[in-house]
Amino acid sequence: MRTTVGIIGAGPAGLLLARLLHNAGIDAVVLESRDRAYVEHRQRAGILEQGTVDVLRAAGAGERMDREGLRHDGIELRFDRKRHRVDFPALTGGRSVMVYAQTEVCKDLIALQLKDGGPLLFEAEALAVEDADTDRPRVRFRHEGVEDVLECDYVVGCDGFWGVARKAIPAELTRVFERTYPFGWLGILADVAPSHDELVYARHDRGFALLSMRSPSVSRLYLQVPEGTDAEAWGDDEIWTELERRFETADDWRLERGPITQKSVTPMRSYVHEPMRHGRLFLAGDAAHIVPPTGAKGLNLAVGDVVTFARALTHQRETGSAELLDAYSETCLRRVWQAERFSYDMTTLLHRAPDATPFEDRLQLARLERLASSRAAETDLAEGYTGFPFG
């Protein structure tokens, strides 16, 4: 097989890149190791930054998102039984976020790709990226039990942390920066209407809690738990009781309970791989960087990566200049590190470390009091949450 851009991975990054390239008149082939049903049902992030929303609309993939997604104009911070709302549009010149699950983004992009895009091969396992430092990189893959080769001008690895793309970059050329946190998130899906119309981030002496949602009738909630916790070790009543404790306020607000349909534990880590490019191989999304979910940045960072690549390749085709392609890694990493900083700040602001001292507890409360009393501090949070500019 032969194409201009070989894309490994049909998550939102790979699928969106294929759409952007199609709209620019550039051919691409997408290889995805899983079947379509798996891709369309794996639960992932659900908060889309303003920039991501704008890109999906411009790409022709925003119709259902605008119809079914939930626009949010703020979040609520809770601490010391107090409530403080951060108003995004008032602080950012009108920016907001959209609650629309990654599974739905993938469904929309898959439908578009199969309708009028280039080849999208499910159950096509990428085995290796070869000759990345030449002008004819190749992806060896297995599809329907047969090994084949995809010859490309460029390869973009959107295949996640465990994929093959990053492994094609020589170890002696790379630097890795990472941090593992001593806690995780116990997440649940529950068939009950959300108890608040915006996300609630709660700092409590017993640990962090987050109230989110998937739809007007399905709640998504999280509890900070020790690293390595087994989700099934928590009973349903125990989960609801702990959530009630951590969301407690001084007014009459109450948490509504409902049947829990899913439980899982998400580990917390920060990771950056530099560079994000080697020859004609480009990394995007989790293949290059991971953030703790506190800042809702993972999916949105991946979108920024593929937008940067699509713009750079389009520029090269229109002008003959490879300047933007050559700057891909540096351009993406500026945004990546700001998102890493924001996610780290949110994580350390709201989670209680297992060995936290009374001094550190009071510092957290002081930081939250500062956010609740300073427009400048609020603005910094709102700008980070609604998203850093692409490019």
328-350 helix and 358-373 helix, angle to the nearest 10 degrees: 110
Catalytic residue among 100, 292, 293, 351: 293
Q: Which segments of 49-192 are extended strands (E)?
A: 70-72, 74-79, 82-87, 97-99, 120-121, 124-130, 138-143, 146-151, 154-157, 175-190
Catalytic residue among 201, 278, 289, 292: 201
Residue environment code for 54-81, b if the CB has 16+ CB neighbours within 10 A, otherwise e: bbbeebebbeebeeebbebbbbbbbbee
DSSP class of residue 217 equals T
**Chain segment 209-255, per-residue pLDDT in tens:** 999 998 899 999 999 999 999 999 999 999 999 999 999 999 999 99
In CATH, the architecture of 181-268+353-386 is: 2-Layer Sandwich (3.30)
Angle, vertex CA 128, rays to CA 126 and CA 130, nearest 5 = 130
Beta bridge partners of 30: 7, 120
Q: What is the pTM of this model?
A: 0.95
Ordered per-residue pLDDT tens for the chain, 391 residues:
999 999 999 999 999 999 999 999 999 999 999 999 999 988 777 899 999 999 999 999 999 999 999 999 999 999 999 999 999 999 999 999 999 999 999 999 999 999 999 999 999 999 999 999 999 999 999 999 999 999 999 999 999 999 999 999 999 999 999 999 999 999 999 999 999 999 999 999 999 999 999 889 999 999 999 999 999 999 999 999 999 999 999 999 999 999 999 999 999 999 999 999 999 999 999 999 999 999 999 999 999 999 999 999 999 999 999 999 999 999 999 999 999 999 999 999 999 999 999 999 999 999 999 999 999 999 999 999 999 888 6
Tell me whether residue 297 is one of the annotated catalytic residues.
yes
Rounded Cα distance between 212 and 167, Å, is 35
Catalytic residue among 194, 297, 328, 351: 297
Q: What is the pLDDT of residue 39?
A: 93
Catalytic residue among 100, 222, 328, 385: 385
Tell me whether residue 201 is one of the annotated catalytic residues.
yes
- Assign 265 to helix, strand or coil: strand
DSSP class of residue 164 equals S
Q: Domain 5-72+98-177+269-346 - what CATH class? A: alpha beta
Indicate the domain borders of the chain.
5-72+98-177+269-346, 181-268+353-386
Catalytic residue among 22, 72, 196, 278: 72
Q: What is the pLDDT of residue 276?
A: 98
Q: What is the pLDDT of residue 391?
A: 63
Q: What is the pLDDT of residue 109?
A: 97
